[in-house]
Structure 1
Amino acid sequence: MNRLACFTSVLALTAGAAAAQEMHFNRIASFPVVQNMAEGEDTSRTTSPEIISATADGMTLVYSDSPLGVIGMIDITDPADPQPMGNVDVSGEPTAVSVLGNTTAFVGVNTSESYTAPSGRLAAIDIASRSEVASCDLGGQPDSTAIAPDGSFITVAIENERDEDLGDGGLPQMPAGFVAIIPLTDGAMDCDGIIRADVTGLADTAPEDPEPEFVDVNAEGEIAVTLQENNHIVVLSSDGTVLSHFSAGSVDLDGIDTQEEGALIFDESAEGVLREPDGLQWIDDTHFAIANEGDWKGGSRGWTIFSQDGSVVYESGTDFEHAVIQIGHYPEERSGNKGVEPEGMEAATFGGTPFVFLLAERASVIGVYDVTDPAAPRLHQLLPSGISPEGAIAIPQRNLLATANEFDGIEDGAARAHVMIFEYQDAPAAYPHLTSEGMDTLTGWGANSGMVAGADGMIYAVNDSFYGMQPTIFVIDPAHTPARIVNAIPVTREGAPAQKLDMEGIALDGEGGFWVASEGRTDRVVPHALYHIGPDGSIEDEIGLPAELMAVERRFGFEGVTLVDGTLWMAVQREWGDDPKNHVKLVSYNIESGEWGAVHYPKAEPATGWVGLSEITYHDGFFYIVERDNQHGTAAVTKKVYRVAADQMQPADLGGTLPVVEKEEVRDLLGDLTSTGGYVLDKVEGLAIMPDGTAWISTDNDGVDDHSGETMFFSIGSVDG
């Protein structure tokens, strides 16, 4: 019986109970693009939606998929329920797509044999028949495409990209790139009228070898183009005349992390970091924004607004990255490179407000900025994206925004590649669920695992081994919207950050301190152990596992701990050497006597992959246990909360036959995990139950490594029925 079937998830609490409501973008759907493969196709192949466009009526999305060599189409007549329309083969590598009206998708197709012999074409695909109706030879390798607002021409950035493995990977590497401008007459390409706009001799860096990256066209027909590797920007007329050009410049950065050391420490600086922009979007006819992704020499982690004469109107510096850090999306594994790495952009006006949508490739976040005043943009909100957002399309006539997220986790056991759809609503922002905003110092967080509720109304959470150099106990106030981290207690050993910990469970000791369960990995010299930690975070005692357990030890160990009447109970994630199939141990340790024992818990048969336990907590006569599989998205089956009556927890001696407890289902979490329009996240890791019975759930974002970084932190209501 599902005891919480009568409860409505209070995810709305994390979305806010704002007194003065404001319009916000909220995700309403996620579409795994593998669904566009035809019946019988090999769905284990990598898919990657990159650049995305839409028909004029906003009913169809069209995206490029480079690994498959296709463009994919999605029916969004009902945007909350997108439907597959299939793929169209383009006989090459699609690099970008732009849709004109409701009829034609123009696709840049790379057909290059080598870096030194680049080639490509612009294909016109009839959307209704899903067939190619025309093609123009471009004379080089295309990157981005853009159609003039009046439909009079389409422009293509011909990058002729460099070989990053040649020498130092730097420029020059000929042949030079250029900008192609193809006239359109009633939507048809005039291949004979192609203009090759020469942009050589302009940049300070390798002027003989420009590499155009991204193009956009304003209402006056002026083309702005980024030369990323050259760190330069050019503005062209529709006939290819250079109207202005200037260096993209550099930025001095303070408060950044440049070391990939398993810790989030933002105390470093960098001077003269080249912007090296990728994405570019006109905001109006005189201003455009650039996303400073960086390439071979730069990457300033933010974004900039220029006047077309080259004047810097606005520079974000580290503001964007710092906002991303506070919501737990900072990619520590990219600290030595370019941090959050803004790459793509979109700009559009919704409800009279001009917005810029900034896509952070490595943080998997969309920064939504109100640019009513281009000199003083306001961060309106941060949206959760799929992994590695590459392209976005705004559909303001339908109050919609769609993103194409290129990373496909098929080879890494992560989520498949998705297109996500957001709606501009008269509603509170549904994300983030958790933030460190408001703390005195910039505080990063992530990979949150075990949780426990205190009588003080706070929730205490630990991070796991991803941050091995920075084990931390986070104090969370769930009364805020979003929930707020109000303190971060470093876990230390003899005054230094404690190493060799994989904290997966936490309990309060009743005296201001904590008990923490660490999941061991003997192959990495990480011990299976219990730690008694003082209020200041210092380790006071370490308790190793007894010989009876270590004799049957496996990698997947303790995944939660709770304290009941002087006895610690730990949930073992998966079967160890002496466990029957689909049975795992709930292990007991009497603090006073030092005695160990266990019972067996029957877990679900996995549909795919494996099923294990990830949390245990005691409340009012019951032990509540999180049971989950290791699957994402549509493959996920088991994400549940169960409970076991305390009178069943009669531990037997280790090494012998253990009693098997009976479990009762409390909550199937699949509905909660999709309630904000995203795909089902893998790791439901935290469960905390307040004294009044209110239960809180959290997910582990794997430190934003092959993960979108999204953390869900929400209440499922009261477990007292």
Structure 2
Amino acid sequence: MSRSKILVGLTAMLLATTANAGAAETFNRIASFAVAQNAPDAAVTSSEIIAATDDGMMLIYSDSPAGGIGFVDITDAKAPKPAGFMALDGEPTSVTIVGDKAYVGVNTSESYTMPSGKLVVVDIASQSVEAEYDLGGQPDSVAHNAAGTLIAVAIENERDEDLGDGGLPQMPAGFVVMFDIAAKTVTKVEVTGLAEIGGEDPEPEFVDFNDNDEIVLTMQENNAIVIIDGQTGAVTAHFSAGTVSLDRIDTKADGAYAFTGSATDLPREPDAVQWLDNDRFVIANEGDWNGGSRGFSILNRAGEVLFDSGADLEHYAARVGHYPDKRAGKKGVEPEGLEVGRFGENTYIFVTEERSSLIAVYRDTGAAPEFVQVLPSGISPEGLVAIPQRNLLATANEVDLREEGGVGSHVMVYELAEGVAQYPQLIADLDAEGLPIGWSAISGAVADAEKPGMLYAVSDSFVSAAPAIYAIDATAMPARITGKTLVTRGGETAQKLDLEGIALDGEGGFWLASEGRTDRLIPHALYHVDADGEIKEEVAFPAELLAQEIRFGAEGITSTGRGDDMTLWIAMQREWQDDAPGMVKLVSYKPASGEWGAVHYPLETPADGSWNGLSEIVAHGEFVYIVERDNQIGAKAQHKALYRVSLAEMVAAPLGGELPVVSKELVRDFVPDLKAGNGYVLDKVESFAIDAAGNGFVITDNDGVDDSSGETMFWSIGAL
């Protein structure tokens, strides 16, 4: 079957999932937990590997930067509560739970050449250390068998990526440790000399038990897989993870989302591994060193590849706006973590994509797995745990960006239940070649004048190599990007644009507003394009305006009137040098006469440490609607709202003089809408449009998955 037919099938499955309420069970996020709640004094916290107690009421995650493990009470899964943080002497790398004890791998290495570590046994009820066992090296993954009698630890003794070319060998070699829980004995299992690549320096990465107490081990840099008898410690099989050759992938980090490249003989270099049954297992092909394999594979115990996802994860991430373009040349979405869980009659495979911040969900069929859905996660999901007895799934998302003003690490909880999938809310179709219409960072929108539910949107400078106008069918569920028109200049893709707003020109084309940055040679300007995206006119901001420039410029554009009576109104994001604090300009431009003017719009007073600004402007009926927001995210986000100003007050005065101040009326607080997805509150409500039937549509900007979870929210607020 061709890859394009597979993707068409994925589209059909997704639309069926999201359109037929009650027809199927789907996973939806029901809660998010900021791990900083467990360690409020820590500058940086992270949830990495996560486990659940047998009753599914408590989650425990490893927190490497904070040097301990965190506890989350999910007795009420929709309202997780902080249950404590326990500091450990060293760097926790992984955790697993047997009964009332947590077993934590802790790295205590002095250096790469002097690795050391221990297995710490924690009493969960008292959150105290019960025992410690020397492991003789630096631990990575920890797992237990079904009977709860054995613990396996992958001793990686990781390489120094900054030493030479970061390759192998870098001694000392890694190995596997078996820990007998009853006997409290530590047994070393050698895996040296098994791999074709760097066999003298194995780097064990991830371990998992099947029901026969067999351990499957990945050795990522060695591109190898080993099977060990957990009772005897004997190696019963070992083989290469093999290579993949990919076509129809994006290989250039240029923002163009061109899935026309190829790569040959890429080593899979698997990270996580999970048994599907006693004969088959699934691997997440991160491609950490020489790889870039970008998918996941199912193999049997003989090393035969039964299935490989190829570029499917890449394509789907692109279609939902999550493709990490800056990683295109190397690892793409970077599959890293895995979980397998049996919910009722179905066995699901969950794949974490570190760079796209998605969880891909597949159903095991015994042959090629069936795509089910994608789930939005926090930034860089790594670990996850299925809790089938409660129909729950939990993910650990490791990145903490609070020091940069971003959001911290989160644990997120999902539930399997009847109903529609709540995500994605915006998905792109395939193009004529069967390739995804790649998109991200939606920054401005306008509605078609005649077709209800038909919108047009632009994306910002993150995709500056391929600025485009996207056609969106908002009547579909989820909304669909049905077409993409590149903005061109002289027949070539236009450069030096940061598109932030779009308005109809009344003649089948558009006016586009570009937010300038002089330090990057991007002009503050308006661009008049035809229906094919070709720039027909470029209008620079006037000297009176540019003399007061700061970088926070045009964030939206709308039009009133037609023909010679047309006036364009541009919302400036923040105060420029000649604006009083709390006053921002709504700039007017009349294309027929070239006349410029402005009014002042009063901003709400921002909370300490934040600023408020404008994101969008839309003329409709007797009003102009304006999106005003703060620059905060997560728990700090307070102000995301829609206001309206009477058109009768929009009487511009000349630039350079005193400007009239318009009055505003609150229409809608968007914060409750932003909380409806049960994630953290996103910061950038960037686009608003009112369609021909008078319905309002809102879109958030996902920053091109750059230090962002990649989530895009798209919703309607109904008739205005």
Give the TM-score taking structure 1 as reference length. Answer: 0.95
Confirm or deny that 1:446 pairs with 2:440.
yes
Cα distance, 1:14 vs structure 2: 12
1:666-705 → structure 2 map (5 Å cutoff):
666-705=667-706
SS of 1:325's partner is: helix
> In structure 1, what is the Cα distance between the partners aligned to 2:438 and 2:53?
40
Preserved contact between residue 588 and residue 598 of structure 1 (Cα < 8 Å)? yes
User: Structure 1's 15 and 21: CA in aligned 2 closer, same or farther, altered over 3 A?
Assistant: closer
Cα distance, 1:299 vs structure 2: 2.7
Preserved contact between residue 17 and residue 24 of structure 2 (Cα < 8 Å)? no
Partner of 2:354: 361
Amino acid at match of 2:261: E
Partner of 1:146: 143
> In structure 2, what is the Cα distance between the partners aligned to 1:159 and 1:434?
41
Partner of 1:28: 30
> In structure 2, what is the Cα distance between the partners aligned to 1:495 and 1:442?
23
Extract unaligned runs of 5+ from structure 2: 1-14
> In structure 2, what is the Cα distance between the partners aligned to 1:442 and 1:483?
15
1:119-134 → structure 2 map (5 Å cutoff):
119-134=116-131
Moved more, 601-610 or 479-488: 601-610
Count of residue pairs the alignment pairs up: 696
Confirm or deny that 1:243 pairs with 2:240.
no
Partner of 2:97: 99
Cα distance, 1:641 vs structure 2: 0.6
Cα distance, 1:691 vs structure 2: 2.1
Partner of 1:304: 297
SS of 1:626's partner is: strand
> In structure 1, what is the Cα distance between the partners aligned to 2:16 and 2:583?
35
> In structure 1, what is the Cα distance between the partners aligned to 2:18 and 2:140?
41
> In structure 1, what is the Cα distance between the partners aligned to 2:75 and 2:430?
41
Give the TM-score taking structure 2 as reference length. Answer: 0.95
Confirm or deny that 1:394 pairs with 2:392.
no
Partner of 2:5: none
Preserved contact between residue 181 and residue 240 of structure 1 (Cα < 8 Å)? yes
User: Structure 1's 262 and 321: CA in aligned 2 closer, same or farther, altered over 3 A?
Assistant: closer
Cα distance, 1:243 vs structure 2: 1.2
> In structure 2, what is the Cα distance between the partners aligned to 1:244 and 1:478?
53
Partner of 2:6: none
Confirm or deny that 1:313 pairs with 2:306.
yes
Partner of 1:477: 473
Cα distance, 1:364 vs structure 2: 0.3
Provide Cα deviations, 1:525-549, integer angstroms capped at 9, x if missing partner.
Answer: 1000000000000000000111110
Preserved contact between residue 294 and residue 310 of structure 2 (Cα < 8 Å)? yes
> In structure 1, what is the Cα distance between the partners aligned to 2:680 and 2:548?
36
Partner of 2:272: 279
Preserved contact between residue 401 and residue 408 of structure 2 (Cα < 8 Å)? yes
**Superposed structure 1 runs of 4+ greater than 6 Å apart:** none
Root mean square deviation, CA, Å = 1.2
SS of 2:389's partner is: helix
Preserved contact between residue 339 and residue 349 of structure 2 (Cα < 8 Å)? yes
Amino acid at match of 1:686: S
Extract unaligned runs of 5+ from structure 1: 1-12
Q: Which structure is higher in RCO with an 8 Å CA cutoff and minimum separation 6?
A: 1
Preserved contact between residue 387 and residue 707 of structure 1 (Cα < 8 Å)? yes
Amino acid at match of 1:591: P
Q: 1:54 aligns with which of 38, 52, 55?
A: 52
Partner of 2:623: 622
1:90-489 → structure 2 map (5 Å cutoff):
90-101=88-99, 103-185=100-182, 190-191=183-184, 193-238=185-230, 239-373=232-366, 375-440=367-432, 441-454=435-448, 455-457=450-452, 458-489=454-485
Preserved contact between residue 649 and residue 661 of structure 1 (Cα < 8 Å)? yes
> In structure 2, what is the Cα distance between the partners aligned to 1:77 and 1:15?
29
Cα distance, 1:195 vs structure 2: 1.4
How many percent identity over aligned positions?
57
Cα distance, 1:262 vs structure 2: 2.8
Cα distance, 1:560 vs structure 2: 0.3
> In structure 2, what is the Cα distance between the partners aligned to 1:90 and 1:360?
28
> In structure 1, what is the Cα distance between the partners aligned to 2:216 and 2:292?
20
Cα distance, 1:667 vs structure 2: 0.7
SS of 1:279's partner is: strand
> In structure 1, what is the Cα distance between the partners aligned to 2:314 and 2:19?
27
SS of 1:703's partner is: helix
Amino acid at match of 2:451: D
> In structure 1, what is the Cα distance between the partners aligned to 2:161 and 2:521?
37
Cα distance, 1:652 vs structure 2: 0.8
> In structure 1, what is the Cα distance between the partners aligned to 2:75 and 2:671?
25
> In structure 2, what is the Cα distance between the partners aligned to 1:14 and 1:477?
17
Cα distance, 1:20 vs structure 2: 6.0
Preserved contact between residue 39 and residue 45 of structure 2 (Cα < 8 Å)? no
SS of 1:501's partner is: coil
Preserved contact between residue 15 and residue 481 of structure 1 (Cα < 8 Å)? no
Cα distance, 1:260 vs structure 2: 1.3
> In structure 1, what is the Cα distance between the partners aligned to 2:556 and 2:684?
13
Provide Cα deviations, 1:167-197, integer angstroms capped at 9, x if missing partner.
Answer: 1110011111001000012xxxx44x21111
Moved more, 412-421 or 324-333: 412-421
Cα distance, 1:442 vs structure 2: 2.2
> In structure 2, what is the Cα distance between the partners aligned to 1:382 and 1:30?
17
Preserved contact between residue 14 and residue 433 of structure 1 (Cα < 8 Å)? no
> In structure 1, what is the Cα distance between the partners aligned to 2:466 and 2:178?
53
Confirm or deny that 1:548 pairs with 2:544.
yes
Amino acid at match of 2:663: E
> In structure 2, what is the Cα distance between the partners aligned to 1:680 and 1:395?
26
> In structure 2, what is the Cα distance between the partners aligned to 1:493 and 1:620?
34
Preserved contact between residue 14 and residue 482 of structure 1 (Cα < 8 Å)? no
Cα distance, 1:354 vs structure 2: 0.2
> In structure 2, what is the Cα distance between the partners aligned to 1:654 and 1:68?
53
Cα distance, 1:15 vs structure 2: 8.7
Partner of 1:5: none
Provide Cα deviations, 1:340-376, integer angstroms capped at 9, x if missing partner.
Answer: 0000000001121000000000000000000122x21
Cα distance, 1:572 vs structure 2: 0.2
> In structure 2, what is the Cα distance between the partners aligned to 1:531 and 1:596?
15
Preserved contact between residue 17 and residue 26 of structure 2 (Cα < 8 Å)? no
Confirm or deny that 1:562 pairs with 2:524.
no
Partner of 1:4: none
Preserved contact between residue 451 and residue 461 of structure 1 (Cα < 8 Å)? yes
Cα distance, 1:259 vs structure 2: 1.3
Amino acid at match of 2:639: T
Provide Cα deviations, 1:20-62, integer angstroms capped at 9, x if missing partner.
Answer: 6210000011111011125xx25xx111100000100000000
Preserved contact between residue 21 and residue 420 of structure 2 (Cα < 8 Å)? no
> In structure 2, what is the Cα distance between the partners aligned to 1:438 and 1:275?
27
> In structure 1, what is the Cα distance between the partners aligned to 2:86 and 2:625?
49
> In structure 2, what is the Cα distance between the partners aligned to 1:283 and 1:26?
23
SS of 2:619's partner is: strand
Preserved contact between residue 14 and residue 481 of structure 1 (Cα < 8 Å)? no
Partner of 1:611: 612
Provide Cα deviations, 1:696-719, integer angstroms capped at 9, x if missing partner.
Answer: 000001111101111101111112
Preserved contact between residue 50 and residue 383 of structure 2 (Cα < 8 Å)? yes
Partner of 2:10: none
Amino acid at match of 1:346: E
Cα distance, 1:414 vs structure 2: 2.0
